[in-house]
Structure 1
Amino acid sequence: MKVKCNDLESIVSHTIEEMKSECKEGHFSLDSVSVSELSRRTGISRSRLRTWKKKGGSFSRKKRSTPPFHIMDGYSSLLDGLLSKGISNSVVCLDYLRHEGFPGSLSTVKEYISDHKDLLPPKHRPVEGLGTRGRRYTTEPGTVFQMDWGFVNVETESGDRLRAACFAMICHHCGECYLEFFPNARQENLFIGMIHAFRFLGVPTYVLTDNMKSVVIGRTLDGQPIWQHDYAQFMQAIGFRTKLCKPRHPYTKGKVERFIRHAKDNLVSGINVNNLNDLNAASREWCNRQNSICHAGCDLPPEEVHSTRCSHTIHPLQEQAELMNYLCPIRRISFDGFITYEGRRFGVPGWYTRSCVRVCREYDTLTIYSEDLQKVLKTYTVTWSRRDSCCMDQFSSKEPEELPTMPVRTVIHLEDRKSFENADFFKKFDFTKEGPEDE
């Protein structure tokens, strides 16, 4: 007679035979078998082995007695087809069956699905035609830098939240990194961050980035990128080219994305700062520590590899006058003599007659230049307060008289008094003369 048993019973029986062979004859008993030792050898959980001992050494479930007419007769083929398509939700399957006239309950469908899980397709199917190995995107030393934006929320010491945009640039070969925070991710801040990063890392041949709107605005019919006009001029002024890749793609731009995630988890999570300048100061110290740590990828600290290998390919940033146009964005003066920069208002001297100025902030010092960058108009020490910052000569001591906005075209002509007295129309208004009822 053939004994029916599943795989678990065969595993347990084989393990018990091994334990029996290890013991001396006459000293082995099934009741004395340790559940912990049996779980360690078979890999089956202790609770399941205890249930196995209670059932007398059987893993089989007690099946319900099946009546001569089973309720699934005539509907099993439909349910098998649903399971072969990967539909294993019992509620969804019951809706399909009810539509065909199935009179059973949800528990019957659940039991059938539990007994026929072998019909379900595997969750992860191998893709045909592709190999099992992939090759990561590698470059020569100093050829490609990666850059990207990230957004963080930092808690200040006063309990407020500081929302900041994190600009990151990293060398693709050695991992030398640069990090800077801005109030937003506008294109003017992108140019400022790239210039600061090029001063720190050097200028590579290519910069690898995703399809951000401040870099590319579309594609041609043959797939070539259409660069944003200001970014195209910026590339020509600095002397580098740009390559585009998919966003959040670890095989091409994964180093800078992993670096931003590492900065969020380590730098931002446990820091308390007062303002954006304190956050940038902390990020500079943190980047210097990261650049001095030995990396497993190159088996050396990134700053050492970058100064020895990558320095032969990169070239230093040329400090030219054209860079000031990107470091000092244009701001328009309001009617009351203020300009707005990074969410705060600063006063402009009243003797400046043009309508636009250029603004540059270096750490805690904000400088306002003339539009042609030939004259320094005003210098402020940034307090990061929301109150307006005024200058002494912003308003003149004698306020000019406000003139009407529209020219006066209405003219009133006054006639001679004698002409009014001689006019017959006004005689009835002469109350000095006595009327007929006064006589």
Structure 2
Amino acid sequence: MLGSGTVIKLHELKAIGKSIRAISRETGHARNTVRRYLRTQGLPERKPRSKRPSKLDPFKPLIHQYMEQGIFNCEVLFRLLQEHGYQGGRTILKDYIKAFRPPKQLPAVQRYETRPGEQAQVDWGICEYTDPEGQVHKVPVFVMVLGYSRAIYVEFAKRCDIHSFLRCMVHAFEYFGGIPEVILTDRMKTVILGMENDRKPRWHALFADFAATAGFVPRVCRVRRPQTKGKVERSIRFVKENFLPGRRFVDLEDLNRQAISWCDEKNRRIHGTTGERPCDRLKQEKLKCLPPREHWKPYLLERRRVSQDGFVSYDGARYGVPWRYSGREVTVFERNGQVEVQIGYELISRHEKTTKSREIRTCPDQYKGLTLAQGYLVPRPRATQIPVHDVEVRSLEVYEQLTGVSP
């Protein structure tokens, strides 16, 4: 069958007055072929060819029985057909199965909508940024999404440990102005330590205490079912694709300020799923009231041991304390952008928090008196030398009386 371009050329040659014989000589096509295409309007229809029987035809009803059972693997079908006497090849079988094979897809799930105040979904994501030297670094991002309102909270951290997780949880609750009934998380090690014999999670002790204090029920999603917490999964992707690209920031504190502004902006937009603004639906959440601020303190502090040179490590930086506390266990507490170091209820050091990793900050008079004390808090036991004229001169009779010897 001739192509459309060739057919057009035949008509052009006919239009300029050339004969069938001349057109046939010029194009190389038979005169009958040229005559047939010039007589037909458009392209002539291809005559259907008679279908040749194949070795697969007798087995097609059997193939359909197997496909109704969900068997579409051609190697399996080839083996089963051979057991019934099939002597054809694999290729013809694959070509036939291809038209009936269902597309690959995830199993369908039922959409789950939560009641106001019922659930929040929480997870970590890993983002990347480039420093001024062009090196690429990873930074964890904490995301919490309220299930009903779709209100979002985002915070970047230096690490994904339990202390960073609890700090971010507190900040998210304070941002939303309340606490939902259920917190759904992934099976992260900062939340669960494993599974009991009854298939119930073995919660991290600090996280379990925090949940009891805050008044929410912790739950984890099913294994290999990330769609269980699809709201927060999509929100993490939204942060990576919408917030982060092209973002310029000075340090982690600056990045988090921009993240809060971005959350405020997105919570005021019309949500694509609900058709309403998350900030408006947030008023309908009916979240539980926040506990007094001091109730959070046990979960916002970290226990550290002072190094030999008088520093405590906290959130990637080192903060100085007076040298006499070296080797002691202290608590580190972050409040209003300041890092406070305490022993019991005694405040021994306070610093402005730094967001630079490995930065060292000393405190005033950190090593005062260190040289004189030679690094020891308690003086080492020693004797005392006195001047010669201070020694009392006694007669021999005194010593003889003491020993009981008479002259």
| TM superposition score normalised by structure 2 | 0.67
User: Equivalents in 1 of 2:328, 2:364: separation in Å?
Assistant: 19
Distance 2:201 2:93 in 1: 55
Partner of 2:393: none
Assess if the C-alpha contact under 8 Å between 1:215 and 1:227 holds in 2: yes
State the identity as a percent: 27
Q: 1:195 to 1:84 in 2, by over 3 A?
A: closer
Alignment match of 2:349 (pick from 368, 374, 377) = 377
- Partner of 1:4 in structure 2? none
Residues 398, 254 of structure 1: alpha-carbon distance in 2 compared, 3 angstrom cutoff: closer
Residue 181 of structure 1, CA deviation: 0.8
Q: Structure 2 residue aligned with 1:33, among 37, 42, 49?
A: 42
> What are the Cα deviations for residues 198-256 of structure 1, in whole angstroms up to 9, with x where unaligned?
11121111111122222222333332222221111111111111122126635431001
Residue 227 (str. 1) matches residue 203 (str. 2)? yes
1:141 pairs, out of 95, 116, 137, with 116
- What amino acid does structure 2 have at the position aligned with 1:138? E
Q: 1:86 aligns to what?
A: 74
Structure 2: which amino acid aligns with 1:198? F
Q: Give 2:340's match in structure 1, choosing from 360, 368, 387.
A: 368
Distance 1:401 1:332, change over 3 A: closer
Q: Identify if the C-alpha distance between structure 1 residues 315 and 395 changes in structure 2 by more than 3 Å, giving closer, same or farther.
A: same
CA distance in 2, matches of 1:273, 1:336: 33
How has the CA–CA distance of structure 1 residues 155 and 362 changed in structure 2, closer, same or farther, with 3 Å as cutoff? farther
When residues 389 and 139 of structure 1 are mapped into structure 2, their CA distance, relative to the original with a 3 A threshold, is: same
Aligned residues of 2:72 and 2:97 also touching (Cα < 8 A): yes
Rate the CA distance shift 1:137–1:337 in 2: closer, same or farther, 3 A: same
CA shift at 1:193, angstroms?
Answer: 0.7
Partner of 1:337: 310
The Cα shift of 1:273 comes to 2.0
What is the DSSP-based 3-state SS (H/G/I as helix, E as strand, rest coil) of the residue aligned with 1:331? strand
Structure-2 residue corresponding to 1:237: 213
Report if the CA contact (8 A) 2:349-2:363 is conserved. no
Q: How big is each residue's C-alpha offset from its partner over 1:85-137, in whole Å with a ceiling of 9 and x where there is no partner?
A: 4249xxxx9xxxxxxxxxxxxxx98xx7158611569443899xxxx974212
CA RMSD between the two structures: 4.1
TM-score (norm 1): 0.63
Q: Kindly state the Cα deviation for residue 325 of structure 1 after the two structures are TM-superposed.
A: 1.8
- Whether 1:183 and 2:174 are equivalent positions in the alignment is no
- Superposed displacement of residue 319, structure 1: 2.2
Distance across 2 between alignment mates of 1:324 and 1:384: 24
- Per-residue CA deviation, residues 159-184 of structure 1 (Å, 9 max, x unaligned), is 33332111111111110111111111
- Matched letter for residue 156 of structure 2: F
Residues 264-279 of structure 1 mapped to structure 2, 5 A cutoff: 264-279=240-255
Question: What is the match of residue 67 of structure 1?
Answer: none
Cα distance in structure 2, aligned partners of 1:372 and 1:31: 101
Aligned partner (choices 213, 218, 231) of residue 255 of structure 1: 231
Residue 265 of structure 2, aligned match among 289, 294, 310: 289
Q: Which residue identity lines up with residue 341 of structure 1 in the other structure?
A: Y
Distance between the aligned counterparts of 2:91 and 2:264, measured in 1? 58
In structure 2, C-alpha distance between the alignment counterparts of 1:126 and 1:353, rounded to whole Å: 62
Deviation (angstroms), 1:380 = 2.5
How far residue 150 of structure 1 moved from its aligned partner, in angstroms, is 0.8
Taking a change above 3 Å as real, the CA distance of residues 402 and 157 of structure 1, as seen in their structure-2 partners, is closer
Q: Does the aligned pair in 2 maintain the 1:155–1:273 contact within 8 Å?
A: no
Map of 1:118 onto structure 2: 96
1:138-166 Cα offsets, whole Å, 9 max, x none, are 22101111111111112234533332111
**8 Å Cα contact 1:331-1:356 kept in structure 2:** yes
1:339/1:123 CA distance change after superposition, 3 Å: farther
Aligned residue in 1 for 2:126: 151
For the 8 Å contact 1:330–1:371, the answer to whether it is kept is no
State whether structure 2 residue 277 is matched by structure 1 residue 305. no
Stretches of structure 2 lacking an aligned partner (at least 5 in a row): 1-36, 56-62, 80-87, 381-407
Partner of 1:322: 295
- Matching residue within 360, 367, 371 for 1:395: 367
Question: Structure 1 residues 113 and 196 mapped into 2: Cα distance closer, same or farther (>3 Å)?
Answer: same
SS in 2 for 1:236: helix
1:209 aligns with 2:185: yes
Against the structure 1 CA distance between its residues 148 and 373, is the aligned structure 2 distance closer, same or farther, given a 3 Å change threshold? Answer: farther
The answer for unaligned runs of 5 or more in structure 1 is 1-27, 35-52, 64-71, 73-79, 94-107, 408-439
